[in-house]
Structure 1
């Protein structure tokens, strides 16, 4: 009796699982778009004695988020999916707190730390699923994102514990 083999895509990944990972990546894409927009708002609205330090840091973070957004969208395409691209989709899939009119430094850093923690949860699910089907492209991307974001969280935590 012959065993039935699963259909694979051009990458050699099982089609059904690749479609599921692309859907998870679209959730990540949506949340990164909200994170990006939060960072833009923080960059524009930050006030106080740490303005110069944080204004530059927030710009660095939103530029990095913009690159990651593009990488995630391209991975969705690589897996055979279609990247989400409307605000309606982003809001429907968002799991992050939306920051509005935040100008206080500690509140801004807190929002970033909370957002990164939520992004890490999504990325770890994708990492586990991509590992299960040997999707090294997605797996490697998630590992890189996780490593960078954990370091950013450590730095934000160190900043937030600073003595004045």
Structure 2
């Protein structure tokens, strides 16, 4: 199996990627790129949350048991990076991403398989209230999706210190 890139992206690259996500005219591109963006930051956060042992950590996350987005979401929950509300949103974002990635007939956030999953996203509630207050309109499904990815990315970005106990000295 090919080894995944461990490249760290700069703030400028991150901002450029987010601009591409927001400004894309394609829901398909937005869904896949936004999920990839979120997965990148989730991976970074989980790695920072654990004790880093290069030969274990890199193999585990690059092409081992923790390489999948779903497993990373579970690890984040199990290690206390976030609670059930955010974890449930991640599960729905992963489902949405998989629909767009694996079903050629899924083209928009309004598709019948996608819309109910968007309706389950809870991390976007603050942004939804702000949009309604400012523009007097309900957000689109695409906005709800990007609001959720933004809220989750910001939340996990604030959770970067290791919370795991140190290994005993004699071990």
* TM-score for the superposition, normalised by structure 1: 0.31
Greater share of helix: 1
Q: Which has the larger radius of gyration?
A: 1
* TM-score for the superposition, normalised by structure 2: 0.30
